[in-house]
Structure 1
Amino acid sequence: MKFLKLALVGAALVAANTAVQAGPTFDAVKKKGFVQCGTNTGLAGFSAPDSKGVWSGLDIDLCRAFAATMFGDSTKFKVTPLTAQQRFTALQSGEIDVLVRNTTQTMTRDTSLGLIGVAVNFYDSQGIMVRKDSGIKSAKELNGATICVQPGTTTELNLADWFRANKLTFKPVVIEKLDEVVRAFVSGRCDAYTTDKSGLASSRSSLDKPDNYVILPEDFSKEPLGPLVRQGDEQWLNVVRWSFNAMVEAEEYGITQKNVDEMLKSTNPNIQRILGVTPGMGKNLGVDEKWAFNIIKAVGNYGESFERNIGKNTPLKLERGLNQQWTKGGILYAWPIR
Structure 2
Amino acid sequence: MDVLSDAIATMRTGRPHSRRQDKYAPWGMRFESSDGAGFHVVLQGSAWLLPAEGEPVALGPGDVAFMAHGRGHALASDVDVPLEDVRLRPDGTWPEPPPSPRPLTGASTVLLCGAYQLDRARAHPLLSELPEVVHLPARVGAHRSLRGAVELLGMELEEPQPGSDTIVTSLLDTLLLYILRAWWQRERHGSGHPTGWSAALADPAVAAALRAVHGAPSHPWTVEELGALGGLSRAAFARRFTTLVGEPPLTYLTWWRMTTAGRLLRTDDIPLRLVAQRTGYTSEFAFAKAFKREYGVAPGQYRRRA
Normalising by structure 2, report the TM-score. 0.28
Greater relative contact order, per chain length (Cα 8 Å cut-off, separation 6+): 1
Normalising by structure 1, report the TM-score. 0.27
